Amino acid sequence: MTTALPVAGRNALAGRSVVVKVPATTANLGPGFDTLGLALAHYDHLQVEVLDEPGVFVEVHGIGAGEVPTDESNLVVRAIAHTFAAYDIPLPGLKLIAENVIPHGRGMGSSGAAIVSGIMAAKGLLEGIVDIDSDALLVLATEMEGHPDNVAPALFGGLTIAWMTPEGPKHKKLMVHRGVSPLVFVPVHAMSTALARSLQPESVPHEDAVFNLSRSALLIAALIQSPELLLAATEDKLHQSYRAAAMPETNRLITLLREHGFAAVVSGAGPSILVLASDPGQRLVAADLVAEKSETPWQTLMLAVDFKGATVIRTDV
């Protein structure tokens, strides 16, 4: 994947600028642990400009303003630098303006979105100098994220199945049935993905593995063809029960929603709740139920499935 950049190419970076748009994601979807992901129409935006002078200057607006780093340790900057380094290209001076709406630490793929934002920005800045195809994008993003289930839908949109091979990460994108209507309940408190993963056992019973295999297969059918099967298809025995004690209100509301017939699961590592409704009207009933029964504040996001994934546009041409 490494391509040396001629001196003339380095000069070509001067004055380049791009805008990037990346969707939120929700991973696992119940039984599809570390495999299934869905892109949601809730977007972080990024502007990047190449500067004449060295150094990195970062502005963050919206979610994370005043909290996330604004120097070279910023995750978006690190993703840009990672991409440039993969092609043996020195990192130029950069100005970044991030407009963030994806909640941090809530299981909606904020770190994956930041990584994808940086990689897509690098792709746009290097247009005509190196060609970074979709396979390379997924490799770069997975190298930074550690696993592809969040970065694949952020990059490509829709429903994605992601897996690892000896040659690297792979993905398959599927279109979602138009009746599927995602609803996300976002709590005020965050949850560390590392903490959530630490609660996962090293091994699980054979019958639980078989259970999840059947539900994962059913979930694909439910999402692309038969939304009426979503409640049964989102059953899980591999990860949610092990993490329940760390997010009791999330677990309580998921149990309540499922008892009322809603396909509710933990969104990613949590603590947000994803409801995969079979029609838009069903979401209103679920939202009313949570508003009535919740013991802590929750933000309600009624979202569409994003089918396009991350985009980058050159703004200097």
62 marked as binding residue: no
Q: What DSSP string describes 293-315?
A: H-SS-EEEEE-PBPSS--EEEES
217 marked as binding residue: no
37 marked as binding residue: no
| Residue 197 pLDDT greater than 80, yes or no | no
27-58 pLDDT, tens digit per residue, is: 999 999 899 999 999 999 999 999 999 999 99
Q: What percentage of the chain reaches a pLDDT higher than 70?
A: 93
| Residue 5 pLDDT greater than 60, yes or no | no
108 marked as binding residue: yes
Distance CA 186, CA 297 (A): 9
252 marked as binding residue: no
| Residue 3 pLDDT greater than 90, yes or no | no
107 marked as binding residue: yes
| Residue 89 pLDDT greater than 90, yes or no | yes
104 marked as binding residue: yes
215 marked as binding residue: no
Q: Which of 1-10, 107-116, 298-307 has the lowest mean pLDDT?
A: 1-10
Angle between the 75-86 and 110-125 helix axes, to the nearest 10 degrees?
40
169 marked as binding residue: no
The per-residue pLDDT for 207 is: 87
260 marked as binding residue: no
Quick one: pLDDT band at residue 4, thresholds 50, 70, 90? very low
Integer CA distances (angstroms), 232 to 80, 211, 218, 221, 235, in order? 41, 11, 8, 11, 6
The per-residue pLDDT for 2 is: 44
| Structural domains for the chain | 7-172+306-314 (3.30.230.10), 181-302 (3.30.70.890)
| Residue 258 pLDDT greater than 90, yes or no | yes
Distance CA 18, CA 7 (A): 22
291 marked as binding residue: no
The per-residue pLDDT for 119 is: 98
- 3-state helix, strand, coil split of the chain in percent (to 5) is 35, 25, 40
Backbone angles phi, psi at 168, to 5 degrees: 125, -175
